[in-house]
């Protein structure tokens, strides 16, 4: 779920709220000011697990990702079995 930054026109505090893009938020969660929130522009971030080597060929990176995902899924399933 995306997060958005809002500044309250009454208390001047900046709040980070999680909601869908088509939802509207107008009331401040801190001072409970009605219709006081204004959306603030903020930076977005991305995360990657590792850098792609320069010698990688198209498809090899995808295949490595699939293999790692399969291993992660298998270890997650094994962990769930152990909890039973």
Q: Give SS3 for 60.
A: helix
Q: Are residues 60 and 31 in the same domain?
A: no
Evaluate whether residue 45 is within a structural domain.
no
3-state secondary structure 13-27: CEEEEECCCCCCCCC
pLDDT tens, 10-28? 888 888 888 787 788 888 8
Asked if residue 11 lies in contact with residue 31, where contact means CB atoms within 8 angstroms, the answer is: yes
Q: How far apart are CA 51 and CA 19, in angstroms?
A: 31
Q: Say whether pLDDT at 82 is over 80.
A: no
Q: Is the pTM of this model over 0.75?
A: no
Q: Are residues 33 and 58 in the same domain?
A: no
48 pLDDT tier (thresholds 50, 70, 90): low
Asked if residue 13 lies in contact with residue 30, where contact means CB atoms within 8 angstroms, the answer is: yes
Q: What domain range is 28 assigned to?
A: 3-40
Domains in the chain: how many in total? 2
pLDDT tens, 50-78? 666 666 666 666 777 788 888 888 888 88
């Amino acid at each position: 779920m995306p997060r958005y930054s809002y500044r309250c026109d009454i208390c001047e505090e900046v709040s980070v709220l999680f909601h869908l893009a088509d939802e509207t938020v107008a009331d401040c969660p801190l001072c409970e000011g009605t219709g006081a929130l204004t959306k603030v522009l903020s930076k977005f971030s991305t995360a990657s697990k590792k850098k792609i080597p320069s010698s990688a060929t198209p498809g090899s990176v995808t295949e490595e990702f699939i293999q790692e995902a399969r291993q992660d899924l298998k270890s997650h399933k094994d962990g769930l079995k152990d909890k039973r």
